[in-house]
Amino acid sequence: MIRLAGDCQYDDCPTVYATDRGTIAVQGVIVTDPGRVRLSPGEALVEISVDLLREAARAAG
């Protein structure tokens, strides 16, 4: 994976990556109360900042 956005030295904080499959992977804080969001088995809901998402969008071109 290629890091698009995130400023962690030890890969332990919110980060956005581009994969070799043409998709985006997001590392963030797990949302423990997703409210009405329905998750399928194997899925997780994570939270990142809007600024991080904007940085990733700029990097992805």
For the stretch 1-45, pLDDT in tens is: 999 999 777 767 899 999 999 999 999 999 999 899 999 999 999
pLDDT value of residue 13: 86
Q: For the chain, how far is it from start to end, CA to CA, in angstroms?
A: 16
What's the confidence (pLDDT) of residue 22? 93
Across the range 44-52, mean pLDDT stands at 93
Handedness of CA 21, 26, 32, 35 (dihedral sign): negative
Phi and psi at residue 55, to the nearest 5°: -60, -45
Q: Of 32, 37, 26, 29, which Cα lies nearest the Cα of 3?
A: 26
pLDDT value of position 9:
75
Half-sphere exposure of 49 (CA within 13 A, CB side): 9
pLDDT of residue 34: 87
User: What pLDDT is stored for residue 38 in this prediction?
Assistant: 94
